[in-house]
Amino acid sequence: MKAFELKRRSHGVKEQLIHICLMSAAAVSILTTFGVLFSILFEAIEFFQMRSFWYFITGTEWSPGVDNSKFGALPIFAGTFMITFIAMAVALPIGLGSAIFLSEYASPFWRDKLKPLLEILAGIPTVVYGFFAAITVAPAIVSFFDSLGIQASFNSALASGIVMGIMIIPVISSLSDDVIRAVPDSQRKASLGLGMTEGETIFNIVLPSALPGIISASILGLSKALGETMIVVMAAGLRPNMTWNPLEDMTTVTVRIVDALVGDNEFNSPDTLSAFALGLVLFAVTLVLNVISLSLIRKFKEKYKVNSL
Amino acid sequence: MKTTQHENPFYDPTLNKRHLKAKLFKLFTLSSIVFAISFLVFFLGDMVYKGLPAFQQSYIQIEVQYNEKSLASTRQAIDRKYRRVVSRAWLRDIPKRVKQQPELMNTKQLTWVLLNHQVDQYLKGHYYKVKAKNLKLIQAMQAEGKVEQQFNEIFFTHGDSKIPENSGFKSAIVGSILTLIVMMVVAFPLGVMTAVYLEEFAADNTWTRLIEVNINNLAAIPSILFGLLGLAVFITLFGMPRSSPLVGGLTLALMTLPIIIVSSRAALRSVPDSIRQAGYGLGLTKIQVVQDHVLPLAFPGIMTGSIIGLAHAMGETAPLIIIGMIAFIPDTPTSIFEAATVMPAQLFTWAGMPERAYVERTAAGIMLLISVLITLNAFAIYLRKKFEVKW
């Protein structure tokens, strides 16, 4: 009996130990988030001690590497916005269209065949997309506009935007597909029973019900586009350029981060630290977008009581 | 006909238009998925078309002289007229070859010699400036059957090189393997333990919800920011060696953690409660139930998620560029502390090279990388299908 008690006690200690182990493992994920935040924040603060914060968000001249270097990030934000906008213009209709086809029209047979194919698109490394954009899409765009008599840059925002859009398609379609399928069938049947056509049912009943989820998917795609690096590093320009013309070369936040850190600059120079200031902006924007996206999808889940999303 | 329609009280004069609209809408959704799939096909086709030639390399059959003179100045080993067409790298390696096979010394051998990349690209049908004199020579040799395309072994046995025909993928492959080993060693236990904690042990309180929200956010942080973390914490703060698989693996581990956690949690959740209750009923402790009953049942699902995370990490480039894994690495790394490069980073470096021969090598590397990724993902799906238990 005593031996049994002892064993029980040792079990208790062991259980406690394992419990603590598991808890500390879970704490690592929190540590990582704070690690990312603080490693960026501290360096960014150091940067803003050297250069004005106000000029950083409103200035229009970005000239690192020279004696009187200026860090006005507005042209960089403009380029990021332009390329992201093009990407969303490509990804939103195609991603949503694919999701609607897969969830509403496709037979189970085709669905099983097509969905993995779309997921291959999501599994292609971004460096590969970048290579494709630089070597195949950009020259094609240049020669196409050349034949119209318009001059386009080999580093045009259009080329990287289109390829980035294709990269985002599976992000939008996969989540939208799940959301649309989660809309209760009773809604469709009621609508069809009242004499609506299939298209009207989808457009007027199913899509509005799924809207929070669809918006959530789009925001997720948007945040992916903002943070995408390799495509723009390989296919977009380096020159900060504020323009409305997507055929010119434009640069993005991520390109400037890579450019600032890959060179042989001193770590504590404003040139290098500017990367962290840009990183901070990127972190803040994607975090806000993600929080909005998550809260929307949570609302959808609560409304239709689905747990699988 | 018209009269009968009007007698129908439900007759809708816009019906045809409405059906047309519905049809058009269906057509739009169909065409968008057709576009996405056809892009995939075009893209893969383009890569294969561009990359396939890289698996062949041009060689020329000429006499090579092995003696003291040619060892001292390797250019002397071959006839003067061939010096402009054969690879510098091949000549450079002559002393190494003699060392391996001493019987070659003081002999004359008819050997297949690697051609340089200009001639190689020309023979593969790309425009390349080759001098008319050399061109004539090559064409004459070709007519005699002394120029041919052989399997490109160099691509699999050499590291990177500034001489295009001598560059290979091997050091990048080894670098990737080392980096991914570090990543899995760190991320797999941490991810599974976090998932077990959240699913089996954690009480539903603020702390737990904080971790959950946090994991979701972690998954959405752009990968390049993990590079900033790696640079600021692992390299600058902890002083770990720059460009090493150690730092790369740790950075990727933190990035992959959310994927492994989320899929492991789903796998644990799919184990029915009756299993746990049966365990408790027999007097097992919580740890025993989780360790001996829940985890083994959830294991296939956990593996599936981890393999998908692995594939994800294998293709990641941006954070690794930030921590310097795009260095020029001609030699294969042997430990996780040495400078190394990984497959996607090598592709990035090659894609930035001006020579045409690198384009073909990049595409070939892409073919290799994508086939590995698709195999991994297919294996993950197979695992899930095979071990899926229907309760």
Min distance B229 CA to chain A CA atoms (Å)? 5
User: Is the residue at B209 inside a domain?
Assistant: yes
Q: To 5 degrees, how large is the angle CA B125–CA B165–CA A234?
A: 80
Q: Do A290 and B226 touch (CB under 8 A)?
A: no
Min distance B170 CA to chain A CA atoms (Å)? 19
Q: Do B315 and A127 touch (CB under 8 A)?
A: yes
Q: Nearest chain B residue to A35 by CA: give it.
A: B229
Separation between Cα atoms, residue A186 and residue A265, nearest integer Å = 63
User: Is the residue at B123 inside a domain?
Assistant: yes
Q: Nearest chain A residue to B254 by CA: give it.
A: A32
Name residues whose C-beta falls within 8 Å of residue A230's C-beta, 6 or more positions apart in sequence: A125, A126, A127, A129, A130, B317, B318, B344, B348
How many contacts (CB atoms, under 8 Å) link A and B? Answer: 255
Separation between Cα atoms, residue A225 and residue B216, nearest integer Å = 18
Structure tokens that stand for B367 in this block: 């073919």
CATH of range A62-304; options 3.60.20.10, 1.10.287.1080, 1.10.3720.10, 3.90.1170.50: 1.10.3720.10
Q: Is the ipTM of this complex over 0.90?
A: no
Q: Which residues of chain B neighbour A27 with C-beta distances below 8 Å?
A: 211
Residue B351: which domain range?
A: 170-387
* Beta pairing, strands A70-71 & A62-63: antiparallel
Min distance A44 CA to chain B CA atoms (Å)? 11
User: Is the residue at B37 inside a domain?
Assistant: no
- The full length of chain B comes to 391
Q: Nearest chain A residue to B381 by CA: give it.
A: A116
Whether B88 and B229 share a structural domain:
no
Judge whether residue B5 has pLDDT over 60. Answer: no
Q: What is the reported pLDDT for A308?
A: 61
Judge whether residue B34 has pLDDT over 50. Answer: yes
Separation between Cα atoms, residue B195 and residue A175, nearest integer Å = 23
Whether B221 and B285 share a structural domain:
yes
Q: In angstroms, how far is CA B354 from the centroid of its own chain?
A: 22
Structure tokens that stand for B207 in this block: 């702390």
Q: Do A100 and B236 touch (CB under 8 A)?
A: no
| Identity of the residue numbered A263 | G
Q: State how far the alpha carbon of A149 is from the alpha carbons of A161, A287, B40, in Å.
A: 22, 43, 30
Judge whether residue A5 has pLDDT over 70. Answer: no
DSSP B333: P
Q: Which helix (H) or strand (E) holds A70?
A: strand A70-71
Nearest neighbour of A262 by CB, restricted to B25, B31, B321? B321
Q: What angle, 0 to 180 degrees and rounded to 10, lies between the N-to-C axes of helices B356-387 and B295-314?
A: 170
Separation between Cα atoms, residue B140 and residue B233, nearest integer Å = 61
| Identity of the residue numbered A35 | G
Separation between Cα atoms, residue A70 and residue A240, nearest integer Å = 12
User: Is the residue at B335 inside a domain?
Assistant: yes
Separation between Cα atoms, residue B319 and residue B252, nearest integer Å = 8
DSSP string, A138-177: HHHHHHHHHHTT----TTBHHHHHHHHHHHHHHHHHHHHH
Is residue A34 a contact partner of residue B217, using CB atoms and an 8 Å limit?
A: no
User: Is the residue at B132 inside a domain?
Assistant: yes
Whether B291 and B188 share a structural domain:
yes
Q: Where are the domains of chain A?
A: 2-50, 62-304
User: Is the residue at B44 inside a domain?
Assistant: no
Q: Which residues of chain A neighbour B316 with C-beta distances below 8 Å?
A: 125
Separation between Cα atoms, residue B132 and residue B150, nearest integer Å = 24
Nearest neighbour of A125 by CB, restricted to B31, B261, B317? B317
pLDDT tens track for B99-150 = 888 888 888 888 888 888 888 888 888 877 788 888 888 888 888 888 888 8
Whether B314 and B262 share a structural domain:
yes
Percent of chain A with pLDDT strictly greater than 70: 95
Q: To 5 degrees, how large is the angle CA B163–CA B164–CA B170?
A: 100
Chosen for mutation from B19, B205, B228 (greatest number of chain A CBs closer than 10 Å) is B228
Q: Which of B187, B190, B286, B210 is nearest to A19 (CA)?
A: B286
Q: Do B216 and A131 touch (CB under 8 A)?
A: no
Nearest neighbour of B32 by CB, restricted to A27, A101, A275? A101
Min distance B281 CA to chain A CA atoms (Å)? 17
pTM, to two decimals: 0.89
Whether B138 and B267 share a structural domain:
no
Separation between Cα atoms, residue B117 and residue B128, nearest integer Å = 9
Total tally of structural domains belonging to chain B? 2
Whether B148 and B174 share a structural domain:
no
Q: Do B21 and A200 touch (CB under 8 A)?
A: yes
Whether B306 and B175 share a structural domain:
yes
Min distance B87 CA to chain A CA atoms (Å)? 26
* Beta pairing, strands B147-151 & B56-66: antiparallel
Backbone angles phi, psi at B383, to 5 degrees: -55, -45
Whether B269 and B180 share a structural domain:
yes
Q: Which helix (H) or strand (E) holds B279?
A: helix B273-281
Per the prediction, chain A carries an average pLDDT of 88
Residues B200, B201, B206, B212, CA torsion sign: negative
Q: What angle, 0 to 180 degrees and rounded to 10, lies between the N-to-C axes of helices B356-387 and A108-123?
A: 130
pLDDT (average), residues B254-259: 93
Nearest neighbour of B211 by CB, restricted to A29, A227, A286? A29
Report CA dihedral (A37, A38, A43, A48) to the nearest 10 degrees: 80
Whether B139 and B187 share a structural domain:
no
Count CA within 13 A, CB hemisphere, residue B40. Answer: 20
Q: Which residues of chain A neighbour B260 with C-beta distances below 8 Å?
A: none
Query: Of A37-41, A55-59, A158-162, A191-195, where does mean pLDDT reach its minimum?
Result: A55-59
Min distance A84 CA to chain B CA atoms (Å)? 14
User: Is the residue at B13 inside a domain?
Assistant: no
Separation between Cα atoms, residue A113 and residue B284, nearest integer Å = 45
Q: Do A230 and B348 touch (CB under 8 A)?
A: yes
Alpha helices in B8-149 (DSSP H): 15-51, 68-72, 88-92, 94-100, 117-123, 132-143
pLDDT tens track for A82-110 = 999 999 999 999 999 999 999 999 999 99
Q: Do A35 and B229 touch (CB under 8 A)?
A: yes
Judge whether residue B1 has pLDDT over 50. Answer: no
Whether B192 and B318 share a structural domain:
yes
Q: Do A128 and B31 touch (CB under 8 A)?
A: no
Judge whether residue B311 has pLDDT over 90. Answer: yes
Alpha helices in B152-242 (DSSP H): 154-157, 170-196, 206-220, 223-229
Helix/strand/coil for A56: helix
Helix/strand/coil for A237: coil
Q: Do B36 and A125 touch (CB under 8 A)?
A: no
Whether B287 and B369 share a structural domain:
yes
Whether B320 and B175 share a structural domain:
yes
